[in-house]
């Protein structure tokens, strides 16, 4: 038997325009969830970051939240933990990582209710280093999913590797990057998908495979892909009592779209599961130390010590300056909260704190990567968000009872941040 665990990652940045969010909901989220709801035999793992849940609620897309909740309540999907504003966790200080994880849990519980009971953890962009294990294990998660490029030893197919941190063990699952990317970039159809699984199984009796990709792949990045790929695959994986109807549906779709169907007998050897269910099916394996990486990191990137190339490329000057500016934001907010000795100071300190949570989102760095993503307006928008943090944090410090030396020192940080901001903007003019 082949156990297929699929993970869908739902995310939009806090800077996303409502008009674009509506387009993504119409093209991707609603059609994708419709396919899942129409196929109750499906099992899947979903990550949806708290910032997107809030945006869906506030922008009038509450039907999507209801569909997510319904899938979870029926046990057809499970949800994961993550960071609320999709930050690159290994690059943040420990307190910021902890806060982002807690904020995400709070948002998931608020919007999804009892359906939100995550057992596993999805680090945004699958950016992993062992630095994040302290917060992940402390939050009580049973497993973490990382990129296949992070696997330091023989590829696991019939046991589940473990990672150890301060006497606690955490199951670690590795995404099949090759198959996931083939699906994500429309390089494989339903029939070839099953043939790929058959080759992976080889002579082994039972194996598992994990695919993971952006939910927006279906319908937004690739038009109608939720029907042309997912629905066609799901039809061939229908329970035996629905096999005839499922194959009839798949055959009609194949005729319409010239899709290669899988061998019906083999497709019955594939079972869909959540990632958590794999823990009940396969035994623990050896303890490993996954490599720092992301789901966009190549083996070559790892070899040259560049594990997060789309968010902190060691040769990208804008990345370096962005993170320098964010570190100044964090310092300012920490001091603002420490100095809050009046209602006015607390007010501006709370504003700065909330703005900082949002300003840690990953997209501003992604758009500055030039591999090949590059958009000066989205880079600048992230910088504006960070500057709003600086303005409110220093206002809190300056209005507090802190001594003159402290206020002067932190004003110097304001000046330093202004200089970094100017350097980033200058580079946006010339690159």
The CATH number of the domain holding residue 170 is: 3.20.110.20
Do 198 and 129 share a structural domain?
Answer: yes
Do 278 and 381 share a structural domain?
Answer: no
Do 327 and 282 share a structural domain?
Answer: no
- 309: in domain: no
- 310: in domain: no
Domain edge (last residue) among 251, 267, 299:
299
The encoded tokens of residue 95 equal: 């307190």
Do 127 and 27 share a structural domain?
Answer: yes
**With the C-alpha atoms ordered 305, 306, 308, 314, is the resulting torsion angle positive or negative?**
positive
pLDDT in tens, 12-57: 999 999 999 999 999 999 999 999 999 999 999 999 999 999 999 9
Q: Is 120 helix (H, G, I), strand (E, B) or coil?
A: strand
Average pLDDT over residues 253-274: 68
Per the CB < 8 A criterion, the answer to whether 21 and 55 are in contact is yes
Q: Is 146 helix (H, G, I), strand (E, B) or coil?
A: strand
Whole-number average pLDDT of the chain: 94
Average pLDDT over residues 392-417: 98
pLDDT of the residue at 241: 39
Strand ranges for 274-375 from DSSP E: 284-287
Average pLDDT over residues 399-405: 97
| Main-chain dihedrals φ then ψ at residue 164, nearest 5 degrees | -110, 140
pLDDT in tens, 212-248: 999 999 999 999 999 999 999 999 997 643 433 444 4
- 282: in domain: yes
pLDDT of the residue at 252: 56
Percent of the chain with pLDDT over 70: 93
Domain edge (last residue) among 299, 332, 355:
299
Per the CB < 8 A criterion, the answer to whether 82 and 45 are in contact is no
Enumerate residues 6+ apart whose C-beta is below 8 A from 39. 231, 234, 235, 238
Do 111 and 193 share a structural domain?
Answer: yes
- 170: in domain: yes
pLDDT in tens, 167-212: 999 999 999 999 999 999 999 999 999 999 999 998 899 999 999 9
The encoded tokens of residue 357 equal: 């949570």
Do 329 and 217 share a structural domain?
Answer: no
Number of domains in the chain: 2
User: CA–CA separation, 286 vs 151, rounded Å?
Assistant: 12
Length, in residues, of the chain: 431
pLDDT bucket at 431, cuts 50 / 70 / 90: confident
Return the ∠ at Cα 81 (arms to 148 and 285), rounded to 5°.
45
pLDDT of the residue at 106: 98
Q: List 80's β-bridge partners, or say none.
A: 120
Do 41 and 122 share a structural domain?
Answer: yes
pLDDT of the residue at 266: 67
Strand ranges for 65-190 from DSSP E: 77-81, 120-121, 143-146, 160-165, 168-174
pLDDT of the residue at 203: 85
- 52: in domain: yes
Range of the domain at 290: 2-299
Do 388 and 334 share a structural domain?
Answer: yes
pLDDT of the residue at 238: 73
Q: List 63's β-bridge partners, or say none.
A: none
pLDDT above 50 for 300: yes
Do 334 and 422 share a structural domain?
Answer: yes
Q: Which of 29, 82, 36, 87 is nearest to 215 (CA)?
A: 29
pLDDT above 90 for 317: yes
Enumerate residues 6+ apart whose C-beta is below 8 A from 403. none
Do 125 and 186 share a structural domain?
Answer: yes
- 46: in domain: yes
The encoded tokens of residue 219 equal: 């319908």
User: CA–CA separation, 225 vs 205, rounded Å?
Assistant: 31
Q: How many beta carbons lie within 10 A of that of residue 266, not counting itself?
A: 15
pLDDT bucket at 268, cuts 50 / 70 / 90: confident
pLDDT above 70 for 249: no
Domain edge (last residue) among 240, 267, 299:
299
Do 287 and 152 share a structural domain?
Answer: yes
- 311: in domain: no
Per the CB < 8 A criterion, the answer to whether 219 and 253 are in contact is no
pLDDT of the residue at 257: 53
pLDDT bucket at 263, cuts 50 / 70 / 90: low
Average pLDDT over residues 100-108: 98
Do 263 and 188 share a structural domain?
Answer: yes
Q: How far is Cα of residue 143 from the mean position of the Cα atoms in its chain? A: 15
pLDDT of the residue at 244: 39
- 171: in domain: yes
């Amino acid at each position: 038997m082949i156990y297929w665990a699929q993970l869908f990652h739902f995310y939009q940045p806090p800077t996303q325009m409502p008009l674009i969010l509506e387009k993504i909901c119409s093209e991707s989220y609603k059609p994708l969830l419709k396919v899942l709801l129409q196929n109750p035999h499906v099992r899947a793992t979903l990550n949806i970051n708290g910032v997107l849940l809030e945006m869906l609620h506030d922008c009038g897309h509450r039907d999507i939240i209801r569909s997510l909740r319904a899938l979870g309540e029926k046990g057809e999907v499970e949800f994961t933990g993550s960071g609320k504003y999709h930050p690159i966790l290994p690059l943040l200080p420990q307190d910021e990582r902890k806060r982002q994880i807690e904020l995400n849990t709070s948002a998931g519980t608020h919007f999804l209710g009892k359906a939100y009971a995550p057992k596993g953890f999805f680090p945004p962009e699958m950016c992993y280093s062992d630095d994040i294990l302290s917060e992940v294990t402390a939050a009580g998660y049973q497993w973490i999913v990382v990129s296949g490029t992070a696997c330091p030893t023989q590829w696991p197919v019939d046991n589940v590797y473990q990672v150890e941190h301060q006497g606690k063990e955490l199951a670690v699952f590795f995404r099949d990057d090759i198959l996931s990317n083939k699906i994500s970039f429309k390089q494989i159809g339903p029939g070839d998908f099953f043939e790929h699984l058959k080759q992976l199984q080889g002579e082994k009796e039972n194996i598992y495979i994990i695919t993971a990709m952006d939910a927006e792949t279906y319908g937004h990045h690739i038009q109608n892909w939720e029907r042309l790929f997912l629905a066609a695959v799901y039809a061939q994986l229908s329970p035996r009592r629905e096999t005839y109807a499922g194959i009839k549906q798949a055959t009609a779709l194949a005729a319409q779209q010239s899709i290669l169907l899988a061998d019906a007998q083999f497709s019955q050897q594939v079972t869909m599961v959540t990632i958590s269910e794999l823990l009940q099916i396969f035994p623990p394996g050896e303890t490993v130390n996954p490599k720092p990486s992301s789901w966009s990191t190549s083996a070559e990137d790892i070899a040259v010590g560049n594990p997060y190339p789309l968010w902190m490329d060691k040769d990208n000057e804008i990345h370096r300056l962005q993170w320098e500016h964010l570190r100044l934001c964090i310092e300012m907010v920490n001091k603002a909260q420490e100095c809050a000795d009046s209602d006015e100071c607390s007010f501006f300190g709370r504003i700065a704190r909330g703005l900082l949570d949002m300003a840690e989102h990953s997209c501003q760095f992604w758009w500055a990567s030039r591999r090949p993503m590059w958009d000066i307006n989205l880079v600048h928008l992230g910088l504006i968000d960070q500057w709003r943090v600086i303005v409110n944090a220093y206002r809190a410090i300056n209005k507090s009872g802190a001594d003159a030396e402290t206020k002067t020192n932190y004003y110097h940080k304001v000046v330093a941040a202004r200089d970094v901001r100017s350097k980033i903007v200058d580079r946006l003019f010339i690159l």
